[in-house]
Structure 1
Amino acid sequence: MAEIRDLRVEIDGRAIVDGVSLRVLPGKVTALVGASGSGKTTTGLALLGEYPAGAHVTGDVRVRADGLVGHVPQHPAAVLNPARRVSALLTDIARVQVSHLPRGQRRAEARARVLHALAEAQLPNAEALLRRHPHQLSGGQQQRVVLAQALLLGARVIVADEPTTGQDALTKSRVVEHLATVAGRGIAVVLIGHDLDVVRSLADDVVVMRAGRVVESGPAQRLRLTPRHPWTRELFGEQKELPSPGRPAPDGPAGAGQPVLRVRGLTARHRDGAHGTTVVLRAPGLDLYPGECLAVVGRSGSGKTTLARCLAGLHRDHDGDVLLDGTPLPDSVRDRSRAQLAAVQYVFQDAHAAFDEHRPVLHQVARTAVRLRRADADTATREALSTLARLGLTKDLVRRHPGRLSGGELQRAALARALLARPRVLVCDEITSGLDTITRRDILGLLTALVRDRDDLSLVLITHDLDTAAMAHRIAVLDAGEVVEQGPAQRILTSPSHPFTVSLVRRRN
């Protein structure tokens, strides 16, 4: 069992968690829910004894003496050593556990334990994944590797921070089933989540937080059916309709002019060390027209992020061309001109990893205008403050360092930074997957307004969520690294032709 009593966490005199108490019981799933910045993650990390730098902490946190606490963070890349392959990351843990065996049996037993942990974490094709480095995995795959680490360690309490972030519906259901199985083995699970469908299906108890305080708590079924607090009612209420792009989908060159971005004969690979390379993406042809939103959907590991990184020059190991206004872009971001860098901007799924922890957010956002548009420092700062304010970020907030912002706040700052380049193509990689429904709706509304109001801006929206994809003009569907179907969003979502797309739409409905 683990327990938190009257926890208060202050940073610079501001309470980010104030008077929080909860009990986490063996075999039970306790969900912490609330908007981005409500204090959910800070509360969950308190069970590990981890707090933000410079925090003043009062209250009591108790974990049973034999209760090792494992952590599956929302942004797993931050805790995976980028220089080591997945096999090394997991085998280091397994070796300690088999050290009592005769020397000749240790290697085989350690490998068996690693493969079992990967299977428990719902990672298929484990043999191939073991040879890769963390950056060669999708965000969802990285998350499940960290879950496998926690299971290997024998954790009695697992703090799972948005464990279904960036996951397709099938993988999400498997992760939910596995966490339920983990709880069934007597392990306490603390689920930090914005995905209320997951909370409804998995949680035994729910703690609702707002502005660092607990506003309501109790059995999940009671909160879902008869919530007492207005914020709980809003959070668990019917999801409002997501925004639509606001203009007809372009039919092609005749209706929309020439594509701003084209993909031709793209084949991307991952290097597997001594084992050579593995093809992870084949995209014979994709077009993006001016003022268009193109959603790229598919399961975790299907190649969506690899495609996005190829567009932005972040994945060099590929054949084929990415053309901007008919001119091939260099494969590597290092070889692209200042104008080409500004034209195609990338907003990462893991906003925390995309910022320098040692410099204020405002400085990093303004730096984009200085570096890519040669704006002077004062002009860049004014533009940055204006753009950040439009995204709901105050002057006081953005003068802080990234570690002092919530995930949702930092994701908005990352979007502002990309916009300061005045891009023609904005590539957004699962940027709403770790956000609560209210913040998610706000950011998608902003993206919709940007595409609607600026004829010179096009959007590539990488997502696993078909409800999010429905806001796009067109959808491209990836499965196992292949583009299996593409076309107008309305047709794809109502009358798909490929069996895989049919299965995705069926799960959505």
Structure 2
Amino acid sequence: MTIMEGANRLEVRDLQVRLVGRPGDVVDQISFSVRAGEIFGLVGESGSGKTTLALALLGYTRRGLKITRGSIYLDGKDILALDAAGLREVRGSKIAYVPQDPSASLNPALRIGHQIRELLSAHPEVTDNVEGRMVEVLREVNLDPDSGILRRFPHQLSGGQQQRVALAMAFACRSSVIVLDEPTTGLDVTTQRHVLETVKTLCAAYGVAAIYVSHDLAVVGGLVSHVGVMYAGRLVEVGQTEGVFASPMHPYSQGLLGAIPSPDRAEVLWGIPGQPPRPGSRPVGCSFAARCPEAIELCLREDPLPIEIGERQVRCIRVTDRKSFSVRVRNSRAQIIPSSEPPLLEVRALSTAYGQTKVLHGVDLNVPNESCTAIVGESGSGKTTLARCVVGLHGSFDGSILFDGDEMNKSARRRNSSQLQRIQYVFQNPYTSLNPRKTISQILSQPLEHFMRLTSSDRAERISRVLDEVSLGSAVGRRFPDELSGGERQRVAIARAIIVEPRLLVCDEVTSALDVSVQAVIVELLRRLQKERQLSMLFITHNLALVRSIAQNVVVVSHGRVVEAGTVQDVLERPQDPYTIRLMQDIPKLNSVASALPQSSS
């Protein structure tokens, strides 16, 4: 799908990446081009092949994969025709890669200055003045080289600073092409905005062609000129960003856009039902047919070819009768009437420190019965520390925490069994919070064995019931965590929390690493469970747009202090504190989505 005319810095033609020793491809029939100074967006769910494609652009594949067809032209030269030495010379100097997690890509044992110096020394043709170039590139990413940052180790920098260092290293050799793989995932909205502005400025200044990989469509919408939507290893829709987002032609594109939370309205989110096919297991016919609300019998048999409609190219056999597609209506979220009862959870004048560094200062908040209170703020503002204090994982603090009118001991070790059972915690990362050596049933059995004296048959019955509640099904109980997707693992983590019938659920950034479609499913699951089980929730997030869809009250935290608190409607529509106002301004928005997805009240 070559959609950009003129001088192309990067041109990909019919690229295919296959499994080694097994049938099936992971990426197939990929063609696009990017001009100097432009940014091309790649969006799609996890497992769609985005990162495999991103790495292939550097002539690299993960273990078990191989590039088997196609060409990648970098300034007119096919890098796939180069030998190993030629590829080493090109990587870093002509094409650079910015990974998702800078903390994992930066060497923890080397100072920042050493790592940038090492890069420039490996490509001596870039500059004769290594030290001068280091200072210059740090200033370009808004890092002060005089602040001692060159002598720091990666762990001494914030997440935003680490990502800026990764950007500095990518641009240091004045590369022609930059591949950015989810560089803002997990960052708060303010840090995210600064990183995106840096990317945009440097691409324009250096005439760099950039490929920006993301599952956050709101971020992509404000950054890239053209976008490619990937599903099951193929581009299913490609076109100008404004057109694709305002009027998506492929049902999958429409589904992704329908899952984006609105920062302006409380709406019911749409998740895409089902799971994408596993890499290398693309089914016969249209790979999206099993999940598509518009699929017909022909979709199950015929492999769709790209169809050109203006500047758009769409891989859907029904795109020509697009007008017959039903347009789903985004329903407004019904208001929850505030409870007149005393709050279930009260935090009073809570202050704590790590060593000599104070991280929370006199925090007060309430969580009403059967209601959700969101805690929002930038990274490092103290949100997670506050959550850990509530559940007793951080027991060294001043102040008090009352649960159902009774003051609780500060440490979980000293709380009684009833208090521990009634407050359950859902961790941010389901990949590390589930024991990889145990089956899902064994994982769910542990809290039951600890808090409830049930027979083995009663335990099995409860596990089966709760797996059905989180829309997984009892058959999942026999699987191990590594056999599940990220969204499925997070549902298991939620099932583990609710299986002991708590009254308060503490959710710590539970959707931060999930695709928008999976995020929508998890949010709607939490809302349903809250209603069915009369749960209260403390929902910690840096995604302010998500707050509208799940919470009734919100607490804004900055540098360990509550700067604003109230109902979601009051705080987000009429913010008073300058910090809250800035957070609202930094939220990436897709204003064009409104025209594609009409709203109604329910």
Question: Which letter maps to 2:354?
Answer: H
Counterparts of 1:223 and 1:442 in 2: how far apart (Å)?
23
* Matching residue of 1:220: 241
* Matching residue of 2:348: 264
CA displacement at 1:331 relative to structure 2: 4.1
Counterparts of 1:331 and 1:129 in 2: how far apart (Å)?
40
* Matching residue of 1:164: 184
Change (3 A) 1:466 1:358: same
Where does 1:45-124 land on structure 2 (aligned, <5 Å)?
45=55, 49=60, 51=62, 59=68, 64=87, 65-68=89-92, 69-73=96-100, 90-91=112-113, 93-94=115-116, 96=118, 113=134, 117=138, 120=141
Counterparts of 1:79 and 1:50 in 2: how far apart (Å)?
17
Which of 336, 339, 353 is the matching residue for 1:247?
336
Counterparts of 1:109 and 1:449 in 2: how far apart (Å)?
57
SS across alignment from 2:90: coil
Counterparts of 1:124 and 1:315 in 2: how far apart (Å)?
36
Q: How far does the alpha carbon of each residue in 1:113-139 deviate from its partner, in whole angstroms, 9 at most, with x for none?
A: 5997498277999779998985x98xx
CA displacement at 1:372 relative to structure 2: 4.3
Counterparts of 1:492 and 1:180 in 2: how far apart (Å)?
31
Structure 1 residue runs of 5 or longer lacking an equivalent are: 101-107, 272-276
* Matching residue of 1:305: 384
Counterparts of 2:137 and 2:489 in 1: how far apart (Å)?
36
Counterparts of 2:388 and 2:334 in 1: how far apart (Å)?
24
* Matching residue of 2:536: 458
Change (3 A) 1:382 1:143: farther
Question: Which letter maps to 2:518?
Answer: T
Counterparts of 1:263 and 1:95 in 2: how far apart (Å)?
49
Counterparts of 1:345 and 1:283 in 2: how far apart (Å)?
24
Contact 2:463/2:474 (<8 A) preserved: no
Counterparts of 2:408 and 2:186 in 1: how far apart (Å)?
28
Which of 463, 473, 489 is the matching residue for 2:568?
489
Contact 1:117/1:149 (<8 A) preserved: no
- The root-mean-square deviation of aligned C-alpha atoms, in Å, is 4.3
Counterparts of 1:130 and 1:307 in 2: how far apart (Å)?
32
* Matching residue of 2:328: none
Change (3 A) 1:390 1:301: same
CA displacement at 1:483 relative to structure 2: 0.2
* Matching residue of 1:352: 431
Contact 2:39/2:210 (<8 A) preserved: yes
Contact 1:268/1:318 (<8 A) preserved: yes
SS across alignment from 1:206: strand
Change (3 A) 1:21 1:433: same
Counterparts of 1:67 and 1:375 in 2: how far apart (Å)?
59
Contact 1:24/1:190 (<8 A) preserved: no
Q: How far does the alpha carbon of each residue in 1:38-82 deviate from its partner, in whole angstroms, 9 at most, with x for none?
A: 34345445557464x8x5656359665422353432x6666678x
Contact 1:44/1:159 (<8 A) preserved: yes
Q: Does 1:476 align with 2:542?
A: no
Counterparts of 1:391 and 1:71 in 2: how far apart (Å)?
36
Q: How far does the alpha carbon of each residue in 1:313-333 deviate from its partner, in whole angstroms, 9 at most, with x for none?
A: 333453333333344444444
Counterparts of 1:16 and 1:317 in 2: how far apart (Å)?
53
Counterparts of 1:218 and 1:93 in 2: how far apart (Å)?
38
Q: Identify the range of structure 1 (478-487 vs 420-429) with the bigger mean alpha-carbon deviation.
A: 420-429
CA displacement at 1:21 relative to structure 2: 2.4
Change (3 A) 1:267 1:403: same
Where does 1:281-430 land on structure 2 (aligned, <5 Å)?
281-334=360-413, 336-373=415-452, 375=454, 379-380=458-459, 382-393=461-472, 399-430=478-509
Counterparts of 1:413 and 1:463 in 2: how far apart (Å)?
20
Report the count of equivalent residues. Answer: 478
Change (3 A) 1:236 1:99: closer
Counterparts of 1:125 and 1:423 in 2: how far apart (Å)?
51
Change (3 A) 1:264 1:35: same
Question: Which letter maps to 1:67?
Answer: R
* Matching residue of 1:145: 162
Change (3 A) 1:200 1:502: closer
* Matching residue of 1:205: 226
The TM-score, its normalising length taken from structure 1, stands at: 0.77
Larger-gyration structure (1/2): 2
SS across alignment from 1:435: coil
* Matching residue of 2:518: 439
Q: Does 1:180 align with 2:180?
A: no
Counterparts of 2:139 and 2:463 in 1: how far apart (Å)?
43
Question: Which letter maps to 2:252?
Answer: W
Contact 1:309/1:315 (<8 A) preserved: yes
CA displacement at 1:177 relative to structure 2: 0.9
Which of 40, 47, 58 is the matching residue for 1:30?
40
Change (3 A) 1:447 1:270: same
CA displacement at 1:379 relative to structure 2: 4.7
SS across alignment from 1:202: coil
* Matching residue of 2:317: none
Contact 2:160/2:187 (<8 A) preserved: no
Counterparts of 1:191 and 1:323 in 2: how far apart (Å)?
46
Question: Which letter maps to 2:91?
Answer: G
SS across alignment from 1:308: helix
Contact 1:29/1:204 (<8 A) preserved: yes
SS across alignment from 1:256: coil
Structure 2 residue runs of 5 or longer lacking an equivalent are: 1-9, 73-78, 80-86, 123-129, 269-332, 590-602
State percent identity of aligned pairs. Answer: 33
Question: Which letter maps to 1:436?
Answer: D
The TM-score, its normalising length taken from structure 2, stands at: 0.66
SS across alignment from 2:369: coil
Counterparts of 1:396 and 1:121 in 2: how far apart (Å)?
51
Question: Which letter maps to 1:151?
Answer: A
Contact 2:17/2:66 (<8 A) preserved: yes
Contact 2:159/2:187 (<8 A) preserved: no
SS across alignment from 2:381: coil
CA displacement at 1:95 relative to structure 2: 5.8
CA displacement at 1:480 relative to structure 2: 2.3
* Matching residue of 1:274: none
Counterparts of 1:118 and 1:316 in 2: how far apart (Å)?
41
Change (3 A) 1:133 1:6: closer
Change (3 A) 1:160 1:412: farther
